[in-house]
Amino acid sequence: MTEPEGAAEAAAPLMPLLRAEQLTTVFHVRPRLLARPVLVRAVNDVSLYVRAGETLGLVGETGCGKTTLGRTLLRLVEPTVGRLFLEGTEFTHLTQRELRPLRRRMQIVFQDPYSSLDPRLTLGETLAEPLEIHGLFRARSERDARVAELLVRVGLPAAAASRLPHELSGGQRQRVGIARALATRPSFLVLDEPVSALDVSVQAQIVNLLLDLQEEHGLSYLFVSHDLRVIEAMSHRVAVMYLGRIVELGPTEAVFGAPRHPYTRALLSAVPTAEPGQRRLRVVLEGEPPSPLAPPRGCGFHPRCARRVPGTCDESPPTLAETAPGTSHRVACWNPEG
């Protein structure tokens, strides 16, 4: 397993829409009052790509760095190390003014539909704001027509433009969040747990809406979620994240059908099966996830892994490498399961 992680992902077929190379995001955190700041690698040497019209699902436990990675890809959080490309154009070090034209093509849908909308603005004002910032209309009538078009496209009446967020349900608010992200006609969306705060019945409606929009506009998604059933339904490929690193990456059918990393197997074993009477063999992990403030040496997963190899797993982190030559299924493990 000697192939560098950056080289592995940089070898994506065709030109990817978005590409990250060896991305690292470091925060300075005080573990307690008056203590010295500690460096936390929320994202640690991550390389990935997203093709045009593709959904890359990103899964992992709470606190593993999924949201930070999604925001770093958009430079809502600045990367500490690494490179970012959109359609071949590097934007890692662009100034905010230089970045503005690219901002139109990269948007985000936030997790909480209740806090992501300004309670003082009507829906029309909320949707008109990105149009005004990017100068995407010539007359007020054109702006209002675009706002009405966006509302109708996400399943809300055009007359809802005069309503305030508190008058809507959670699902309706999330539809507004999606409409706001679509306002600038982007090509890439980060969907940060977009259905986790919604009822199950509403989740299905939002997932179907996102699938329809992707087919209609050729959108690319990074779909961040801890719900593996939603990830399986939405994603073309899946990346599994643990303690800031990608530990498994590949086509959805390969990751779900033949997971190679022990952590991925443990996650999948907790998902209920749809077949009556059929049960998965539950994989119970040892201990608790390590603190990002004091990550273990070597492979971050080794303290909880039943397949750890003393002297190897606890000494150096494995790189993300192909499970078999010529495949796009990759795993970062010194002793992967067959």
Domain locations in the chain as residue ranges: 5-105+186-331
Predicted confidence at residue 26, as pLDDT, reads 96
* pLDDT higher at 273 or 34: 34
Q: How confident is the model at residue 10 (pLDDT cuts 50, 70, 90)?
A: very low
How many Cα atoms occupy the beta-carbon half-sphere of 176 within 13 Å?
A: 33
Q: What is the pLDDT of residues 298-312, one digit of tens each?
A: 999 999 998 999 999
Asked if pLDDT for residue 15 goes beyond 80, the answer is: no
How many residues are there in the chain?
A: 338
Q: Where are the beta strands (DSSP E) in the chain?
A: 18-29, 38-50, 55-59, 81-86, 89-90, 106-109, 188-192, 220-224, 237-242, 245-251, 321-322, 330-331
Predicted confidence at residue 274, as pLDDT, reads 60
Q: What are phi and psi of 331, to 5 degrees?
A: -145, 145
Predicted confidence at residue 325, as pLDDT, reads 84
CA 210, CA 223: separation in Å to the nearest integer?
10
Q: What is the pLDDT of residues 70-79, one digit of tens each?
A: 999 999 999 9
| pTM of the model as a whole | 0.91
173-193 mean pLDDT? 97
Task: Say which CATH class 5-105+186-331 falls into.
Answer: alpha beta
Least confidently predicted of 35-39, 99-103, 235-239, 330-334: 35-39
Whole-Å CA distances, 91 to 78, 99, 223: 11, 7, 21
DSSP string, 61-124: -TTSSHHHHHHHHTTSS--SEEEEEETTEE-TT--HHHHHHHHTTEEEE-S-TTTSS-TTS-HH
Quote the distance between the C-alpha of residue 336 and its chain's center: 25
Q: What are phi and psi of 32, to 5 degrees?
A: -155, 165
Q: How many CB atoms lie within 10 A of CB 38?
A: 14
What 3-state class would DSSP assign to 300?
Answer: coil
